[in-house]
Amino acid sequence: MAKQIVGNLRKSSSLIVLARDQIKARHPIDFKALMFKRPPQATFMPNCAVFRGGVLDAQADETPLWRKHFENMGVSRKQLSLLTQGKAKKSNIFTKEDPESLERELSLRIAAIRETFEELGVIFCQNRETLAKGAGEGYGNFKEDFDRQHWQMLVHNDATQFLKLCETLEIIPDLWNLYEWSNWLTPATLKKRFDTVFFVIAIQKMPHLIKEKHEVTDFSWNTPSDFLRQHFEKEIWLPPPQFYELSRLLNFSELEKVKNFAQTRAMEGLDAIFPVERKCKDGRVSLFQGDDLYENPDLPELVSISKTAKEYREGIQNLHRIEFYDSNKMAMQVNVDVPNGHICPVNTNPEDMN
């Protein structure tokens, strides 16, 4: 299976699925996020709680054969241009290396939807009827009435079968309701590195999920605040991008507002978030663009600082960082505007880190 690698960064995409909570009365927030736990034998981030997604597969996700399927399904060039054109700034991950391959705005979305189907058995898609209706209200569609376990196994074993699945069911991956949310680069201090686009999709109800036993230990629907609480209480562990994005979602209590914000913000494009790691006396710090001490993101060595994390931020005017005191004790420190029309994460660490 061919994987798309540029330098030592593997191109990948991840999908933040947000679904309307049918029992809103139990909680002031009317939506829940979907996360799953990676198995202990995973080669990257074992046992952690993550959004679903995976590495871009050139043969499965970027093949020009998708263009023929789009044409057969009546998808117009104008409909595709809504995703591939515009004046918004694009990070480097959207630059394709092969001129014949599918545009990255399309292939990365296909990869996110394919990986979600492989891992959790839900396929976000459009059929001829929904395609004819146009954009609609911006909520995602999914299909459940087919032999999902059979196709899930086929696609898991051979990613190119995902196109065959779409041709057989006469559906198109629901590209238009996946909104570009963020782009994360793994720090240069780690050996296994990824360049990952995070998309957001909002759906009106929770689908029935079928976990893939080799890639998924467990999954759960929960509010962003509850996932963060579980992290702080050591029930789960969140990698930094998941911690950051869940903290960002704390700004919203209604799914409609998240969806509307994601639609509008996507027009601003994306800059890649490239953390810089520093080792302090009592932990470590991840610095992000906009922080006054952010520098040398390509430096592969972990720089040690002879200060505590708190001392390392004393006297610093512009802060944009995560402080790590142990695996589950993390704190956001942000007082700057983040780029691309985005919204800042909220610090919810139960302990006073100031």
- Bigger pLDDT: 305 vs 26: 305
70, two tokens: 């789009």
Whether the pLDDT of residue 3 is over 50: the answer is no
CA atoms within 13 A on the CB side of 177: 26
Whether the pLDDT of residue 353 is over 50: the answer is yes
Whether the pLDDT of residue 6 is over 60: the answer is no
Q: Looking at 113-117, 181-185, 266-270, 308-312, which range is the least confident one?
A: 266-270
Q: In what order do the strands lie in the sheet with 123-126?
A: 142-143, 123-126, 172-173
CB 221 within 8 A of CB 31: no
Query: What's the confidence (pLDDT) of residue 205?
Result: 93
Listed by start position, the domains of the chain span 10-271, 274-334
Bridge partners, residue 236, by sequence = none
For the segment 166-190, the average pLDDT, to the nearest whole number, is 96
Plot region of 165 (φ>0 → left; ψ -120 to 50 → alpha; else → beta):
alpha
190, two tokens: 């780690």
User: What is the CATH T-level fold of the domain 10-271, as seen in this structure?
Assistant: Nucleoside Triphosphate Pyrophosphohydrolase (3.90.79)
Query: What's the confidence (pLDDT) of residue 90?
Result: 85
User: For residue 167, what is the enclosing H or E element?
Assistant: helix 161-169
| DSSP assignments along 56-114, one per residue | -BHHHHS-THHHHHHHHTT--HHHHHHHH-SSSB--GGG--S-TTSPPHHHHHHHHHHH
Whether the pLDDT of residue 1 is over 60: the answer is no
CB atoms within 10 A of CB 139: 18
- Bigger pLDDT: 205 vs 24: 205
Whether the pLDDT of residue 5 is over 50: the answer is no
Query: pLDDT for 119-138, tens place per residue?
Result: 899 999 999 988 887 656 89
Backbone angles phi, psi at 260, to 5 degrees: -65, -40
CB atoms within 10 A of CB 349: 18
CB atoms within 10 A of CB 234: 11
- The pLDDT mean for the chain works out to 90
Burial class from Cβ neighbours inside 10 Å (0-12, 13-18, 19+) for residue 328 reads: middle
Distance (Å, whole) CA 48 – CA 239: 7
Whether the pLDDT of residue 2 is over 50: the answer is no
Sign of the CA dihedral with 268 first, then 270, 276, and 277 last: positive
Query: pLDDT for 136-168, tens place per residue?
Result: 689 999 999 999 999 999 999 999 999 999 999
For the segment 203-221, the average pLDDT, to the nearest whole number, is 85
